[in-house]
Amino acid sequence: MKLLCVGLWLPAGGIKEKVLAAHRAGIKTIILPKWNRKDLVDIPSKVQKDIQFYFVDEMLEVLKIALEK
């Protein structure tokens, strides 16, 4: 399973670049802080369709998502 998890607790910067790099690497699941949901407007729709995004507030949510896979 390929999983990218960035910016826990606080919003992360450079989301567009990180998501595009993850897409090129074949990553299909990305976990981001809820504060970064607004950054998806910068991501091309084709890339958004290929990746499943999860937006979280707490580390416990990250673990739940990651361990369910």
For the chain, domains (ranges, CATH) are: 3-68 (3.30.230.10)
Interatomic CA distance for residues 53 and 69, integer angstroms: 14
Tens digit of each residue's pLDDT (9 = 90 or more) over 7-62: 445 677 899 999 999 999 999 999 998 989 999 999 999 999 999 999 998 888 88
Residue 67 has pLDDT above 80, yes or no: yes
Residue 66 has pLDDT above 80, yes or no: yes
